[in-house]
Amino acid sequence: MKKWMTALMVAVMTAFFANTAYAAGWVLNQTGWWFATKDDGSAWLSDGWYWLDGNEDGIAECYYFDAEGYMLANTLTPDGYTVDADGAWTEMGQKQARPASEVPSYIEEEPQEEEPAGRVVDPTKPMVALTFDDGPYAKVGNQIMDCLAKYDAKVTFFVVGDRCASYQTEMKRMADEGHEIATHTYEHKYLDKLDAAQIREQIDKGVEAIVKYSGVTPALVRLPGGRKNDTVLANVAYPMIQWNIDTRDWETKNTEKTVRAVLDNVKDGDIVLMHELYASTGDAVEQIVPELIARGYQLVTVSEMAQARGVQLQAGQLYYSFRP
C-alpha cells in the first residue's frame, strides 16, 4: 500500500478508536476504506466508480465503492474491471489516471454562516430613538441626514402627507439611507377634533403620500400634538408613537436649549421629540448625535428599538418609550 495510505490509515484509526469527529475524505475502519463526503461522516461515496485524487498529487485515479460504501481492492469490480491493491482501476497493469482538475469534488462544503444582512442593533447596548415631526423640509432634513450619515445613525421621520410632493428628493433620500418614515397624518389636523371618518381619511391619505413619494409603506403614526380621545384610539389602525423627551424646539427655536433638553435628560430606551422645520434643530442635531455616540448610545429608529426590546407593536396602542 502507498505510504500516504499507510500514514492515513494510522491517523484515521487513531481518530476512529478515540471516538473523535470525522473529517471529510478517506476513512478507514475495521471493515475497510471508505470516503466521507461530510465532515461528520454522515454521507459517503457508494455503489459505483469515482475519480479521486487519492494522494493529492494533482492526478486522480478511479476507485470503486460497493453498496455499503467500502472501496474494493485487489479484485474485480461487479462490472468486470480490475482494481489493484490500492483500490485504483488498472488496465494491463497500468493505473487509469487523469488530471485532478478534470474531476469533481465529492466533498460537501459545510454552509458558511452568513453575516447578518443589513444593519444590526445590539439589544444589550443602550439606545435612543430620535424622531422628527412636521417634515419633510429639505433644508433641515438634509442637514440632519448629513450628520447621521457620519455615524451610521438612523432616526424616524414622522412626515405630513401634503408636504411630501414638494420634497420628493428628500423623501427618497430618507428611504435610501435607511431612516424610518412614518405618518404624521395628511394635513396635521388635531385628530381629537375630527369624527371617525375624518380621522381615518387623515391617516390613510398620509400613508398613501408616503408610499407614493418614497416607495415605503409606513408602519407607525404620530398624532399631531400627541392629542387623542377614545374616537382617535378606536380609529387609528396603527401603533401610535408618543415620546418621553420633549425638546420643545418648536417653541424655543434655540439650539443650545434643544441640545440640553436631550443631553441633560436622556436615558436608554428614550423616544426624543424634535421637529424638522427649524434651522436651530438642525444645528442642535450636529451636537446631539456625536455626543450620544460618545456616550455609547445606538441611534435607532422607533421600530428597531421596539424589536430590540422584544416589543411587538400593536395597532391602536400608545407607546411613550422603551426604557428597560
**Catalytic residue from among 86, 134, 270, 275:** 275
Tell me, yes or no, if 66 is annotated catalytic. Answer: no
- Cα separations in angstroms, 178 against 3, 116, 157, 174, 215: 60, 16, 11, 6, 12
Per residue, the 3-state secondary structure of 18-56, as one string, reads: CCCCCCCEEEECCCCEEEECCCCCCCECCCEEEEECCCC
**Catalytic residue from among 86, 133, 249, 270:** 133
Beta strand 75-76 with 82-83 is antiparallel
Q: Treating both helix axes as pointing N-terminal to C-terminal, what angle do 168-176 and 138-149 enclose, rounded to 10 degrees?
A: 20
Tell me, yes or no, if 133 is annotated catalytic. Answer: yes
Q: Across the strands, what pairs with 75?
A: 83
Instruction: Check whether the bond before 136 is cis (ω within 30° of 0).
Output: yes
User: Coil, strand or helix: which one is 298?
Assistant: strand
Q: How far apart are CA 146 and CA 282, in angstroms?
A: 10
Active site residues: 133, 275
